Amino acid sequence: GLKAYDTRGHVRFKDTLASAHTALVADYVNTLMDHPHQNTKILTFQNKHVYTLNQHVQHHLKARGDLGEALRLGSQTFYVGDQVMFTQNSSKDLRCLAPSLNDKTSHMDGMRNTAVKNGTLGRIEAYEDTTVKVRLQDGRLMGVRDTYQHITLGYAMTVNKAEGETFDRVMGYADPHMS
């Protein structure tokens, strides 16, 4: 369980949901600043918390000046610099602009390596005309049409979605109503 983490001071309890979210987001944003090259995620058990935490992190990063130009992908607002996650296996409306530096077999024909899987993570690097450029964790630079709907903020995710992923740092949110 959590006892080993609690004895080391890594578990904190808050009286309200709002205070728990506020403290978690502040810790997360500070960790991003202190460890910019590490892959850090917030994990929780419910999508409603994922959405709220993602929105709060984005708001804090924008207020600090860490995010750039605003853009729309489908019906959502993102900023250059946002961490994002693809929410569907897809290759439609995507094209590979640059292969992974580790991929010795891909060609720059825009047709290979255009697929992403549900849960693929990346960061928005630029927005030009109707194309959003997303650098995936595997190093590929993907061009995404601004009408693409299957993407969301990727600062927080559910524990289920994170299964099989490896992160350098993880912060979790749990509540007493979990079973």
105-159 pLDDT, tens digit each: 444 444 457 789 999 999 999 999 889 999 999 999 999 998 899 999 999 999 9
Instruction: List residues bridging with 152 in a β-sheet.
Output: 85
Cβ atoms within 10 Å of 76's Cβ, excluding its own:
13
What is residue 177's predicted lDDT score, i.e. its pLDDT?
A: 62
| Beta carbons within 8 Å of 66's beta carbon, 6+ residues apart | 81
Q: What's the pLDDT band for 11 if we cut at 50, 70, 90?
A: confident
pLDDT tens-digit series, residues 34-49: 998 899 999 998 999 9
